[in-house]
Structure 1
Amino acid sequence: MAAHDNSADPSFDVDVLIVGAGPTGLALAAQLSAFGASFRIIDRRQTPGTESRAIAIQPRTLEALRPFGIGDELAAAGHPARQLQLHLPEETLNVDLFDSGLEDSAYRQLLFLSQTETERILTQYLLSRRVRIERGAELQDLERLDPEDPFAGMEAKIQRMDRGIERIRARYVVGADGANSTVRAKAGMDWRGTAYPDTFILADVEVDGVEPDTVHSYPTEDGFLFLFPLGGPATWRMIGIKPRGDNSPTTLETLQKLADTFTRGELQVRDPQWISTFRLSHQVAEYFQRGSVFLAGDAAHVHSPVAAQGMNTGIQDALNLGWKLALGSRGLASDDLIDSYDAERRPVGRDVVSATDRIFKLATSRSGLAKLPRTKLLPALAPKVMDWDGLRSRLFRTMSQLNVNYRGSDMVQSGTSRLPGLLASGPRPGDRMPDADVIHQGRERRLQDLAVAPGFTVLLCGPGWPQDAAEQIQASLPRLAGLLHVKQLMTGSSLIAGGPGIIQDVSGLAFHRLGLSSRRPELLVIRPDGYVGYRTAGRDLSGALSYLADLTAAAEPARV
């Protein structure tokens, strides 16, 4: 049984049933645990996976896992790569990775880490919270508790290796069970997209003749070869495409032949730790939610791995959904808030599938016209593009997923006194909150560490706030006791002591990145997933209180 199994409603055995204990399901469990929600997590595998599979962790994923202490642990265990060598026919182009555009994050590198290690670190966190992953438990069927009400909860039929059939009644069921999701099939959610004709080769190997700690790309008329600095269980991850029509087993000889084709015999491949072949597709679920059933990660979207987005998108699916289900389990989430998961994350999943499909086709096409961008335009334009700082910055922010936003969501609002989006500076409602070094109680801290928590943070910025503003806010929203935090962000000196609710921006970077003025007060509400939910100018609290009251289904808008 999972930790925090405290569901008070006798209609349910548990509030949330998570099906699948890969990175997405484990991240969801971590957030539910932090909120004290009642959940169980099952996986049909009897033991954790041993293949490295997904290996790239983006800065936004590290940020999103930081509130649980996991971001820093992943960063310490991972292998950063700060350079790409693009091996073109006539020259090798060196490109610095993530050297611009990530100044407002604590993590400024593309990190490579075996998925096995990522899952191990997430699992260790859950074990420290007394969460047990129930392995050897396979979902067989799902039925609504009330056939007439899709939101009344579900009964899951579970086949257990150790004790036969078990039935679990859950308020919510989340399918994090991969591309062949049983949850998706049983919930009747359509799966749309097509398969690619090529067969991929993945291998964790040792490679001689290549510069370490660097991503290597070899684009040719025949496709591409990538080498990523994995660190362990082998030094390198090799990714390539098997020749069409070749159905022979993939061996070390196959890998060496592939390397010879793309590098003119410059590399020696040896000591493979893992070799796998698989077919790729680009597919996305028609909906990420149907009633009480939700999809996340590969169960909701699959695509090419060429842009290192898949696992990262899945983890962020989980962390968008988890706090909403946790609040819903306590009766603190409006129906609109629960439904906003699909509205906020499906466009992200759809965009990732579309973008990676375009990149994949550019990288792999073998037809005359379609391969021109790779064989002719890339060598001509790449040096010029990589020298354009603004474009590189935007590219890195997009790849790192720092630019993902929910500006069109009904779950974010601007106050009436705030300037329209195009005229206002700083992050808009729906944007990720930027990070900066600040001072809190005499110690250097990160702003995100202080303003992103299991709950909402009201950030009072600038001068002139009443001394009892925090008390007014807390008293106006008693239903959110323990889930509502109030901080005041102000410019100041590190020599001046600040109280527990005071954050001092000594450098001015936090104010700059948030688009604030030291002379003008503003208020921001930060959601539990680190996005700005509400923003207004001035010292009027009523808009923020109404926003929070509506979001958490308060009976009446709160007043001050």
Structure 2
Amino acid sequence: MAAHDNSEDPNYDVDVLIVGAGPTGLALAAQLAAFGASFRIIDRRQSPGTESRAIAIQPRTLEALRPFGVSGELVAAGRPARELHLHLPEETLEVDLFDSGLEDSAFQQLLFLSQTETERILTQHLLSRRVRIERGAELQDLARLDPEDPFAGMEAKVQRMDRGIERIRARYVVGADGAGSTVRAKAGMDWRGGAYPDTFILADVEIDGAEPDAVHSYPTEDGFLFLFPLGGSATWRMIAMKPPHRPATLETIQELADTFTHGALHVRDPKWISTFRLSHQMAEYFQQGSVFLAGDAAHVHSPVAAQGMNTGIQDALNLGWKLALGARGLASDELIDSYDAERRPVGREVVSTTDRIFKLATSRNGLKKLPRTKLLPALAPKAIGWDGLRSRLFRTMAQLNINYRGSSMVDAGNIRLPALLARGVRPGDRLPDADVIYQDRERRLQDLVATPGFAILLSGPGWPQDAPHQLRAALPQLAGLLNIQQLTVGSSLIANTPGIIKDVSGLAFHRLGLSSRRPELLVIRPDGYVGYRSSGRDITGAVEYLQRLTGEDVAEPVAGETLSA
């Protein structure tokens, strides 16, 4: 039995049942464990997968996983790719990857690591938290605990290889069980989209003749061939369109390499060869009552731009803290429902964008292949020299530009200088990172706010010493879930003071759009996004914002107290 399997509510065996132990389910379990939530994670496979499948980890994913202490291990195990070699008919363009636009992140590289290794590292983290993945446990059915109330929780019927049928009553069920999701099917959630007509071949192999530590792309009239650096059991991942009526063998792979590279590559020692069909599909909704979908259970698309696993992990980390608070009775209905409202537009944009790019990369239609065969060779040399375009492209690919500005779960208080704010973060934006000094040590700002719960940053001059006490007194329901720090511009030589973050370089203030002469307050959500921002030392708006998220009535200050400095 998993360590977090006993709910305090006698109506439930567990607060959250996670179905699926791929990267999405494992990331969700890590966040629930950090909050001390009651959960179980099951998977129908008897053992972890051995195929590498997803192979790229984006900077935003490494940021999002950092609170669990696994990002450093992922980076150490992975292989960064710093260049894209675009092999055009007349020349090969060498494009630096992620060399601009990522200055506000500690992770400025596209990291290649097999999904097997990613799952292993996340699993080891869960084991260190005394969480065991229950393998050989397959979901058979789902039923509402109260047929009249879709939010009253679910009963899961699980077939276990070791002891037959088990029934699990859960407050929430999360389907992280892939494109063929049983959770999605049993919950009756629509699955929309279609499949691409071509079959693709995928292989983990050794290749002679390919420049190491770079991504290689060979676009031709017949489609494309990609090489990605892997490391581990194989050095390269090769993807190409499979010729009709040809078997998935080393001979076929070599023929493809010869066709696309004019005999420049020698392929050998395959570790894994497979064929697959790709689709672009998405669930109509990511939530139905107490049932949620995340990762490939919610959206599938082509592997263009390495967005799939990364989007799934960030689905999980948007959802986990909301369910953890909901299990404690500290989440409003609106907060729970915001998962669908915040993540479905992200999933829809990823599916739409990758679909357009994929069709341009693979189409053999005379007109549709023109961008690949004519425009790309003509425009690529000029485009790679346009720093602004490359910066925007890299930030989008790295998923640093994802925001929830339109969400009802972010808010702004009194903002005195909108023009200044426009140069910094807005409510709904990811918190940018910067080097700062804390307790006489160089730290990263994101690390200092990455505790389970909400972080509150008090910036600028004039904050009274009892401001943290006022905030905690006004939000007793969040005891243990508030991390309150003061951010100041100052020299590293200034005496160390508990709770003070010193921005010696001024980069944190600059990236946040703050002024050293004006007090401001920011509330950072547990997923690393700015939830609330206001100018001045009045903390009432921040208190009301957090009370709204937690479903608490706005409390009136008692006589003799004030909620502002």
Shorter-chain TM band? over 0.9
- CA–CA distance in 1 between the matches of 2:420 and 2:381? 33
The residue that corresponds to 1:481 in the other structure is 479
- CA–CA distance in 2 between the matches of 1:124 and 1:537? 43
Q: CA deviation at 1:553?
A: 1.0
The residue that corresponds to 2:296 in the other structure is 298
- CA–CA distance in 2 between the matches of 1:443 and 1:187? 50
The residue that corresponds to 1:548 in the other structure is 546
The residue that corresponds to 1:465 in the other structure is 463
- CA–CA distance in 1 between the matches of 2:506 and 2:316? 33
The residue that corresponds to 1:524 in the other structure is 522
| Cα deviation digits, residues 180-239 of structure 1 (max 9, x gap) | 000000000000001000111110000001110010000000000000010122000001
| Cα deviation digits, residues 398-446 of structure 1 (max 9, x gap) | 0000000000000000113344589632010000000000000000000
The residue that corresponds to 1:173 in the other structure is 173
Which of 429, 432, 435 matches 2:433? 435
8 Å contact from structure 1 (residues 490, 518) kept in 2: yes
The residue that corresponds to 2:149 in the other structure is 149
* One-letter amino acid of the counterpart of residue 402, structure 2: V
In 2 relative to 1, CA 355–557 (structure 1 residues): closer, same or farther, beyond 3 Å? farther
8 Å contact from structure 2 (residues 414, 536) kept in 1: no
8 Å contact from structure 2 (residues 420, 513) kept in 1: no
Q: CA deviation at 1:554?
A: 1.2
- CA–CA distance in 2 between the matches of 1:201 and 1:234? 16
8 Å contact from structure 2 (residues 172, 291) kept in 1: yes
The residue that corresponds to 1:538 in the other structure is 536
In 2 relative to 1, CA 403–4 (structure 1 residues): closer, same or farther, beyond 3 Å? same
* One-letter amino acid of the counterpart of residue 522, structure 2: L
| Cα deviation digits, residues 78-128 of structure 1 (max 9, x gap) | 100000000000000010000000000000000000100000000000000
The 5-angstrom pairing of residues 311-390 of structure 1 reads: 311-390=309-388
The residue that corresponds to 1:257 in the other structure is 255
1:307 match: secondary structure: helix
- CA–CA distance in 1 between the matches of 2:245 and 2:417? 61
Q: CA deviation at 1:5?
A: 3.2
The residue that corresponds to 2:94 in the other structure is 94
2:304 match: secondary structure: coil
- CA–CA distance in 1 between the matches of 2:542 and 2:421? 21
Q: CA deviation at 1:6?
A: 4.2
- CA–CA distance in 2 between the matches of 1:422 and 1:186? 50
8 Å contact from structure 1 (residues 418, 424) kept in 2: no
> Aligned pairs, how many?
558
8 Å contact from structure 2 (residues 474, 555) kept in 1: no
8 Å contact from structure 1 (residues 441, 497) kept in 2: no
8 Å contact from structure 1 (residues 218, 224) kept in 2: yes
Q: CA deviation at 1:555?
A: 3.1
Q: CA deviation at 1:70?
A: 1.0
The residue that corresponds to 2:43 in the other structure is 43
* One-letter amino acid of the counterpart of residue 403, structure 2: N
Structure 2: give runs of 5+ residues left out of the alignment. 558-562
8 Å contact from structure 2 (residues 2, 133) kept in 1: yes
In 2 relative to 1, CA 362–179 (structure 1 residues): closer, same or farther, beyond 3 Å? same
Structure 1: give runs of 5+ residues left out of the alignment. none
* One-letter amino acid of the counterpart of residue 215, structure 2: V
- CA–CA distance in 2 between the matches of 1:5 and 1:156? 14
- CA–CA distance in 2 between the matches of 1:82 and 1:95? 8
The residue that corresponds to 1:281 in the other structure is 279
The residue that corresponds to 1:226 in the other structure is 226
Q: CA deviation at 1:334?
A: 0.2
8 Å contact from structure 2 (residues 5, 14) kept in 1: yes
- CA–CA distance in 2 between the matches of 1:508 and 1:422? 15
| Cα deviation digits, residues 522-545 of structure 1 (max 9, x gap) | 100000000000001111100000
- CA–CA distance in 1 between the matches of 2:228 and 2:355? 20
RMSD: 1.0
In 2 relative to 1, CA 42–423 (structure 1 residues): closer, same or farther, beyond 3 Å? closer
8 Å contact from structure 1 (residues 223, 366) kept in 2: yes
Q: CA deviation at 1:360?
A: 0.2
* One-letter amino acid of the counterpart of residue 198, structure 2: D
- CA–CA distance in 2 between the matches of 1:104 and 1:324? 26
The residue that corresponds to 1:409 in the other structure is 407
1:172 match: secondary structure: strand
* One-letter amino acid of the counterpart of residue 42, structure 2: I
The residue that corresponds to 1:200 in the other structure is 200
8 Å contact from structure 1 (residues 154, 172) kept in 2: yes
- CA–CA distance in 2 between the matches of 1:319 and 1:547? 21
- CA–CA distance in 1 between the matches of 2:183 and 2:6? 24
* One-letter amino acid of the counterpart of residue 448, structure 1: Q
8 Å contact from structure 2 (residues 6, 13) kept in 1: no
User: If the length of structure 1 is used for normalisation, what is the TM-score?
Assistant: 0.98
- CA–CA distance in 2 between the matches of 1:310 and 1:3? 29
Q: CA deviation at 1:383?
A: 0.8
- CA–CA distance in 1 between the matches of 2:351 and 2:100? 25
- CA–CA distance in 2 between the matches of 1:421 and 1:32? 38
- CA–CA distance in 1 between the matches of 2:480 and 2:432? 24
* One-letter amino acid of the counterpart of residue 34, structure 1: A
8 Å contact from structure 1 (residues 3, 33) kept in 2: no
- CA–CA distance in 2 between the matches of 1:488 and 1:558? 25
In 2 relative to 1, CA 247–541 (structure 1 residues): closer, same or farther, beyond 3 Å? same
The residue that corresponds to 1:510 in the other structure is 508
- CA–CA distance in 1 between the matches of 2:296 and 2:453? 27
* One-letter amino acid of the counterpart of residue 98, structure 1: F
- CA–CA distance in 1 between the matches of 2:210 and 2:415? 57
| Cα deviation digits, residues 347-391 of structure 1 (max 9, x gap) | 000000000000100100001000000000000000111100000
2:305 match: secondary structure: coil
Q: CA deviation at 1:72?
A: 1.3
- CA–CA distance in 2 between the matches of 1:382 and 1:38? 52
User: If the length of structure 2 is used for normalisation, what is the TM-score?
Assistant: 0.98
Q: Which moved more, 1:412-421 or 1:423-432?
A: 412-421
* One-letter amino acid of the counterpart of residue 50, structure 1: T
Q: CA deviation at 1:135?
A: 0.2
2:263 match: secondary structure: coil
- CA–CA distance in 1 between the matches of 2:506 and 2:417? 22
Q: CA deviation at 1:500?
A: 2.5
The residue that corresponds to 1:268 in the other structure is 266
1:458 match: secondary structure: strand
The residue that corresponds to 1:4 in the other structure is 4
The residue that corresponds to 2:103 in the other structure is 103
The residue that corresponds to 2:560 in the other structure is none
Runs of 4+ off more than 4 Å: 418-423
2:80 match: secondary structure: strand
8 Å contact from structure 2 (residues 196, 278) kept in 1: yes
Q: CA deviation at 1:558?
A: 5.8
2:155 match: secondary structure: strand
